[in-house]
Amino acid sequence: MDEILDILAGDARVTPVEIAKMTGKSKDAVQKAIKKYEQSGVIVQYKTLINHDLVRESNSFVRALIEVSVTPQKDVGFDHIAERIYSFPEVVSCYLVSGTYDLLLIVEGENIQKVSNFIASKLSPMENVRGTATHFLLKKYKEDGHVLKQKETSKRLNISY
């Protein structure tokens, strides 16, 4: 991957001036490259990684990984069913994967009931969906290459003999 993209992928807040210093390129060349990447769709969005465990109440947000087995459609393969599935607002990410299941979804909701309701009433009944397996995320340790550390105070009493 390009040097500029590597730097921005690690920290999107790095300025073109800082990137120029890091790469030995001129500020104008860096700005031109970034603009070209944005216009061509190579850079899709700038994103902030948030440790949601530190800003949300533990029971007010649920994320699930859902494996979906589908029947591909003639002439469009998996694309059409994937597009129908990822159009739901609950679906944060959708991937075509190898293995027992065809699609891997990341789904978010306010609570387990809302995610379960999405699966039961919207996802599972869809034409060409053959089956699902749901895994609720209990705790995140690392995301996008970054360790999500949070200081936990032990609630256990010390025992001494």
Looking at the domain assignment, is residue 33 inside a domain?
A: yes
Residues 24 and 74 in one domain: no
Looking at the domain assignment, is residue 45 inside a domain?
A: no
Residue 153: the pLDDT is: 64
Domain limits for position 35: 3-40
Q: Which of 51-55, 72-76, 123-127 has the lowest mean pLDDT?
A: 51-55
**Environment class of residue 69 by beta-carbon count within 10 Å: exposed (0-12), middle (13-18) or buried (19+)?**
middle
Q: Which of 76, 138, 63 is nearest to 108 (CA)?
A: 63
Instruction: Report the mean per-residue pLDDT for the chain.
Output: 88
Q: How confident is the model at residue 160 (pLDDT cuts 50, 70, 90)?
A: confident
Residue 1: the pLDDT is: 65
Per-residue model confidence as pLDDT tens digits over 81-131: 999 999 999 999 999 999 999 999 999 999 999 999 999 999 999 999 999
Number of domains into which the chain is organized: 2
Looking at the domain assignment, is residue 77 inside a domain?
A: yes
Looking at the domain assignment, is residue 159 inside a domain?
A: no
CB 7 within 8 Å of CB 14: yes
Residues 69 and 118 in one domain: yes
Residues 130 and 81 in one domain: yes
Q: Amino acid identity, residue 27?
A: K
C-alpha 112: how far from chain center: 19
* Greater pLDDT, 148 or 155: 148
Q: H/E/C letters for each residue in the chain?
A: CCHHHHHHHHCCCCCHHHHHHHHCCCHHHHHHHHHHHHHHCCCCCCCCCCCHHHCCCCCCCEEEEEEEEECCECCCECHHHHHHHHCCCCEEEEEECCCCCCEEEEEEECCHHHHHHHHHHHHCCCCCEEEEEEEECCCCCEECCEECCCCCCCCCCCCCC
Looking at the domain assignment, is residue 160 inside a domain?
A: no
Residues 93 and 31 in one domain: no
Is residue 141 pLDDT above 70, yes or no?
yes
